[in-house]
Amino acid sequence: MKLNFALVIALFICTFSFAQTDEEIGNDPELTKKAEEKAKNRPGTYPVTDNIFMLKGMGGNIAVHHGIDGVLMIDTQFENISESILEAIAKETDLPLEFVINTHAHGDHTGGNKNFKRKGATILAHENTRDIMLSKMYKTAEQQALADLEKSIEEAKGISGSGEKLAAMEETKEELMIRIREQAQENMEIDYEQLPAISFQDDMLFHYNDEEIKLFHIPNAHTKGDIMVYFPKSNVIHTGDAFVNGMYPFIDFENGGSYEGYQRGLTTIMNRANDETVIIPGHGNLANRADVIEMRRMMKIFYDKVVVEYMMNKTEDQVAEMRNFSELFDEKGYGDGFITTERFLRSVYKAVALEKGRERDKNKRQTELLKKNQERAKKMDEGRQ
């Protein structure tokens, strides 16, 4: 009885301290700021079909699919807005969130993973996406360890009489760095909560909420781990960042993205969709097949134009300043977002340089092979004489 009483008191205090009235919030500048922040970050709900809706806010677009079995969510935006996302879902359905799919590894699509995992959701992604997330964790740990090393060298510089020690440190810096890298990897605590629990290599088929949900890998497009999620019965596709609506796309070359792969991915999306398909892009407003075709057209125009400039020996900086062929799309606001016109032009230039470099290497290899064969034939001829 005593215990129950204590519990009631505790609950009362909890309720009291958490349920601030608007008036209280209004009087406290800290709370006002927090409430404003929350309101600003609250995602907007956009109905797509009877049982699918999009949540648009900070980070990548989320799709929520609900039905007889439960709730499946695509992408998780940022860590600090998970609560608002759950509130938005609760307004539409009281079924449990069972599955979360990550379309790719970037933080604006996976940042909230941990919070939803704690709510009992199982997270899935392509194997490469999990790899990218894991290697990013290693990189962060490594950078921290290397920064610590630099700091201790700097500190040693400030201490008198540390000349010898400092010289030794500088001398063995390379060696130290290798050891630090190894140690960082060994000692790193992997944040498993953030990582997908299930990963797959090619495609995957889901049977959920009386619908077959198809997960297709789009190789080397935005990253090396992109997937698109296709709901044939509902006629809806979530593309992740393999398609963004009305803005220049980001090609993450460092994580296996490629220009050609991105273009191929758009073709895959286009082929899956028909004129009635609702396309939920990674960023931007709800789209349709025509928007995907328009993006493909834009990418081809840019590539073809930059190839010509490249062949005329224009540098990356020169191309980055050109606006003669981007105008058409700049006017529609393509360069107003995260990827500016200049940034996009630089990535097109990079893609062209990579492709031309590959062609050059191939030609060189062929010439060398031809030369070798000619020499061999000559030797054989000489041997015969």
Stretch that binds Zn ion, among 39-47, 98-106, 319-327, 365-373 (CB under 5 A): 98-106
Using CB under 5 A as the binding criterion, the count of chain residues that bind Zn ion stands at: 2
Choice between 249 and 309, CB closer to Zn ion: 249
211 vs 241, beta carbon nearer Zn ion: 241
Q: Please, what is the minimum distance in Å from the beta carbon of residue 377 to Zn ion?
A: 53
Q: Provide the CA 201 distance to its chain's centre, in angstroms.
A: 18
- Cβ proximity to Zn ion, 115 vs 223, nearer residue: 223
The minimum distance between CB 297 and Zn ion, in angstroms, equals 22
Q: Shortest distance, CB of residue 301 to Zn ion, whole angstroms?
A: 23
**Element containing residue 308 per DSSP (H, E):** helix 289-311
Within 10 angstroms of residue 46's Cβ, the number of other Cβ atoms is 16
Tell me which stretch binds Zn ion (CB under 5 A): 149-157, 239-247, 314-322, 348-356: 239-247
Report 317-356 residues binding Zn ion (CB under 5 A).
Answer: none
Closest-CA residue to 341 (of 384, 305, 288, 370): 305
Hey, which bits of the chain come out as E strands?
44-47, 52-56, 62-66, 71-74, 97-101, 122-126, 198-200, 204-208, 211-218, 226-231, 236-238, 278-280
Closest distance to Zn ion from the beta carbon of 104 (Å): 6
If the CB atoms of residues 12 and 338 are measured against Zn ion, the closer one turns out to be 338
Residue 283 engages Zn ion in binding (rule: CB under 5 A): no
Q: Could you give the 3-state DSSP secondary structure of residue 232?
A: coil
Cα Rg of the chain (Å, integer): 27
Q: Does 224 engage in binding with Zn ion (CB under 5 A)? A: no
Least CB distance to Zn ion at residue 240 (A): 7
Under rule CB under 5 A, residue 241 binds Zn ion: yes
Alpha-carbon gap, residue 357 to 59, rounded angstroms = 35
Which helix or strand (DSSP H or E) is residue 3 part of? helix 2-18
222 near 262, Cβ under 8 Å? yes
User: Of 56, 65, 66, 106, which lies in the binding site for Zn ion, with binding defined by CB under 5 A?
Assistant: 106
| Binding piece for Zn ion, criterion CB under 5 A, among 20-28, 121-129, 203-211, 233-241 | 233-241
210 contacts 119 by C-beta, under 8 angstroms: no
**226 binds Zn ion, rule: CB under 5 A:** no
Of the two residues 106 and 238, which places its CB atom closer to Zn ion in the complex? 106
Give the binding site for Zn ion (CB under 5 A). Answer: 106, 241
